[in-house]
């Protein structure tokens, strides 16, 4: 269902879901004997650890194995505070989780400069460092560990039975699942998914990537520490092994098995792994003898993971999600989503005639300079991609940047938007110099952009993809959108309305709940334009928006750009389609080998011999070149 139609809200359905959850937990706690209740409580702790991994790895796409360290901080923190200093258990739990959160936040910035397997190695090293530290430190009891921990006391009610552990652990799991599901519907959750999908596009939408990664890592550290604290109060004894590499690997197995992209994956994975272990323990001794259990478990789980990774990388939760979708469609009589043909209300495709109509609709009168670039230079080693370019974009103006392949057009736009730092030169937006700002900081000056290759986000529908562009139109943070507070709900409604307005304007409303990645290239390009517009920019940069568009769609886009200009927006468009450029632009900036070749009106440029020679091709006369309808590269 579209994110627009399934908004962030607090309804009676949440109450029913909570009642069902608690009912199942109480039923299990009441029916299970002490052995199975203990097992159930431990599975709850593992589910919590996997939920932390879902946040960092599944949502934000950052592969972290630091879970062992924060789990241990929670367990040892609670133990030290309660056993050595006599603190009240709940207060110790909160303090241990706070310490884990603060530590997580402090190390996140340097840590997330790393990517991929370097990040995985560094986070695994954190777990190992923690393990070695507690294993060798005297005050933690070294390899012997520490005992004497008392059961958690919940306002006079001692949680000493296995049944009470089940209830507490699974209520905490339920709260975290709800928080993570809710987070996904708000601006912070969307920002995380956008980071996972395409960092440059997320930054261009105004997402502060280092800060978002640090916050999600902090949240994950806190969840892991709470799990550690619950572990300590359940087992009443801590020693180093549960907080080492093996736990990090077990939690990874749970997340992979259940599915990393959904909090349900963590719950399903934790239960499934335990059921598989129990099944192997029950069946294997009869077949191969008791000695085969250990190796058999490793082998079967390993094979299962390989199969899951190959067949269903989104795990059991992903497969179940598809099954539920299928059943719902069958019951509702819906058909599976089909490819949607490009649609447009545009009937005429004669761009010159349309331009005349647009000019009659109201003249575009360029206002003050919105963006000014001076002496922009970009070198990549020996290649000078952009060479001493000056450029001004005015309010209400459509400026086209054209030039042969490799002329430096995309590099120029990347420097204007903060995606690429210039080697020399300055960029000023309004009165503010933005030269050395990063993309998310430049976006705050109401600059939006699209990319040459559409940058969409895995698993997001069109509505949510577009809503990412409204990131800077809201300010609700991670905690408030996980709860969700009335302010968060109000903000989401406003963002949904603004998104709906842009979708309607761009003829995309009927695609709102389609997976954006499944659309045609042309539709994906328009979705990107919508994402850029929903942020209500004063300057929009479009990198080859016509690629993949049919004639009618190009004509619609051309009319849209003219209309945006009339509304006072400054538009910079890179395009190879000359018919589109000549019809939509007020001025054309021609680049060749990184240098400015000519700046002028469409008429001036298309009659310029230097431009014809360099870009439009050696023509016998200017008119012939002007007639060159489409230049493809």
Ligand X SMILES: Nc1ncnc2c1ncn2[C@@H]1O[C@H](COP(=O)(O)OP(=O)(O)OP(=O)(O)O)[C@@H](O)[C@H]1O
3-state secondary structure of 392: strand
SS (H, E, C) 315-354: HHHHHHHHHHHHHHHHHHCCCCCCCCCCCCCCCCCCHHHH
Q: How far apart are CA 337 and CA 351, in angstroms?
A: 33
Token output for 599: 């700046």
405 contacts ligand X (rule: CB under 6 A) = yes
- Residue 207 or 385: the one with the smaller Cβ distance to ligand X is 385
**Of residues 433-462, which lie at the interface with ligand X (CB under 6 A)?**
452
- Residue of the chain from 92, 351, 407, 496 that contacts ligand X (CB under 6 A): 407
Cβ–Cβ < 8 Å for 75, 232: yes
The piece of 225-233, 244-252, 301-309, 407-415 that touches ligand X (CB under 6 A) is: 407-415
Binding to ligand X in span 163-202, by CB under 6 A? none
The DSSP call for residue 370 is E
> Pattern 343-362, binding to ligand X, x per CB under 6 A?
--------------------
**Among 82, 218, 247, 411, contact with ligand X (rule: CB under 6 A):** 411
DSSP annotation of 471: G
**CB 254 within 8 Å of CB 44:** no
Among 101, 403, 537, 602, contact with ligand X (rule: CB under 6 A): 403
Of residues 42, 79, 208, 410, which one binds ligand X by CB under 6 A?
410
User: CA-to-CA distance for 213 and 138, rounded, in angstroms?
Assistant: 34
Closest to ligand X by CB, 49 vs 529, is 529
Nearer to ligand X, 187 or 409 (CB): 409
Considering only the stretches 404-412, 427-435, 500-508, 547-555, report the one whose residues sit in contact with ligand X under the rule CB under 6 A: 404-412
- Least CB distance to ligand X at residue 410 (A): 3
Q: Where would I find the beta strands (DSSP E) of 395-474? A: 398-402, 424-429, 432-433, 447-449
Out of 189, 259, 366, 408, the residue judged to bind ligand X by CB under 6 A: 408
CB-based contact 174:50 (threshold 8 Å): no
Within 10 angstroms of residue 166's Cβ, the number of other Cβ atoms is 26
- How far is 492 from 486, CA to CA, in rounded Å? 10
Contact 143/154 with Cβ under 8 angstroms? no
Q: How far is the CB of 397 from ligand X (least distance, A)?
A: 21
Q: Find the binder of ligand X among 151, 285, 406, 425 (CB under 6 A).
A: 406
First to last CA, the chain: 39
DSSP letter at 400? E
Q: Which is nearer to ligand X, 139 or 380 (by Cβ)?
A: 380
Give how many residues touch ligand X by CB under 6 A. Answer: 12
DSSP letter at 473 equals G
Regarding 409 and contact with ligand X (CB under 6 A), the answer is: yes
Choice between 420 and 435, CB closer to ligand X = 420
Q: Which stretch binds ligand X (CB under 6 A): 359-367, 399-407, 518-526, 528-536?
A: 399-407
Nearer Cβ to ligand X, position 411 or 434? 411
Pairwise CA distance, residues 417 & 470, whole Å: 17
Q: Closest Cα to residue 233, out of 139, 162, 135?
A: 162
Determine which residue in the list 75, 230, 385, 502 makes contact with ligand X, applying CB under 6 A: 385
Q: Binding ligand X by CB under 6 A: which of 19, 282, 283, 383?
A: 383
For position 545 contacting ligand X by CB under 6 A, the verdict is no
Question: Residue 548 interacts with ligand X (CB under 6 A)?
Answer: no
Residues in touch with ligand X (CB under 6 A) = 380, 383, 385, 403, 405-411, 452
């Amino acid at each position: 269902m579209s994110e627009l139609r399934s908004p962030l809200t607090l309804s009676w359905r949440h109450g029913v879901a909570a009642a069902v959850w608690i009912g199942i937990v109480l039923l299990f706690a009441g029916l299970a004997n002490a052995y199975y209740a203990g097992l159930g409580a431990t599975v709850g702790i593992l589910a919590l650890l996997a939920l932390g991994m879902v946040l960092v790895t599944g949502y934000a796409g950052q592969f972290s194995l630091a879970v062992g360290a924060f789990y241990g901080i929670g367990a040892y923190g609670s133990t030290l505070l309660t056993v050595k200093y006599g603190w009240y258990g709940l207060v110790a739990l909160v303090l241990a989780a706070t310490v884990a959160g603060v530590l997580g936040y402090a190390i996140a910035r340097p840590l997330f400069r790393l990517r991929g397997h370097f990040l995985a190695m560094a986070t695994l090293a954190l777990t190992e460092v923690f393990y070695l530290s507690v294993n060798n430190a005297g005050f933690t009891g070294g390899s012997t560990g520490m005992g004497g921990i008392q059961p958690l006391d919940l306002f006079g009610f001692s949680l000493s039975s296995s049944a009470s552990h089940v209830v507490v652990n699974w209520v905490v799991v339920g709260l975290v699942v709800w928080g993570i599901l809710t987070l996904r519907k708000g601006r912070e959750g969307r920002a995380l998914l956008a980071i996972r999908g395409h960092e440059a596009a997320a930054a261009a939408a105004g997402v502060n990537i280092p800060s978002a990664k640090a916050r999600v890592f902090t949240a994950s550290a806190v969840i892991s520490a709470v799990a550690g604290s619950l572990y300590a109060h359940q087992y009443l004894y801590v020693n180093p092994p549960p907080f080492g590499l093996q736990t990090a690997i077990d939690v990874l197995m749970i997340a992979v098995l259940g599915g990393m992209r959904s909090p349900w994956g963590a719950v399903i994975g934790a239960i499934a792994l335990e059921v598989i272990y129990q099944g192997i323990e029950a069946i294997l001794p009869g077949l191969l003898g008791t000695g085969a259990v250990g190796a058999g478990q490793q082998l079967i789980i390993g094979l299962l993971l390989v199969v899951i990774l190959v067949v269903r990388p989104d795990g059991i939760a992903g497969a179940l999600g598809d099954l539920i979708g299928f059943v719902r469609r069958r019951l509702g009589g819906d058909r599976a989503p089909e490819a949607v043909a490009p649609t447009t209300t545009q009937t005429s495709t004669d761009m010159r005639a349309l331009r005349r109509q647009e000019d009659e609709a109201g003249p575009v009168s360029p206002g003050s300079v919105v963006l000014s670039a001076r002496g922009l230079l970009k070198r990549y080693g020996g290649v000078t991609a952009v060479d001493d370019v000056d450029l001004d974009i005015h309010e209400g103006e459509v400026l086209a940047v054209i030039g042969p392949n490799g002329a430096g057009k995309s590099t120029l736009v990347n420097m204007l938007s903060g995606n690429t730092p210039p080697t020399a030169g300055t960029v000023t937006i309004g009165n503010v110099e933005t030269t050395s700002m990063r993309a998310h900081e430049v976006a705050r000056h109401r600059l939006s952009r699209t990319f040459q290759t559409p940058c969409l986000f895995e698993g997001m529908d069109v509505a949510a993809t577009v809503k990412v562009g409204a990131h800077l139109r809201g300010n609700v943070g991670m905690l408030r959108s996980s709860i969700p507070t009335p302010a968060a709900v109000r903000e989401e409604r406003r963002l949904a309305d603004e998104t709906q307005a842009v979708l309607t304007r761009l003829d995309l409303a009927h695609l709102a709940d389609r997976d954006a990645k499944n659309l045609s290239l042309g539709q994906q390009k328009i979705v990107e334009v919508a994402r850029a517009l929903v942020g209500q920019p004063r300057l929009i940069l479009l990198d080859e928006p016509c690629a993949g568009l049919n004639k009618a769609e190009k004509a619609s886009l051309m009319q849209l750009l003219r209309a945006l200009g009339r509304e006072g927006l400054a538009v910079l468009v890179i395009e190879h389609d000359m018919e589109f450029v000549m019809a939509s632009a007020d001025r054309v900036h021609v680049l060749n080998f990184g240098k400015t070749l000519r700046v002028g009106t469409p008429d001036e440029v298309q009659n310029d011999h230097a431009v014809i020679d360099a870009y439009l091709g050696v023509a016998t006369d200017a008119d012939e070149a002007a007639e060159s309808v489409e230049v493809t590269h």
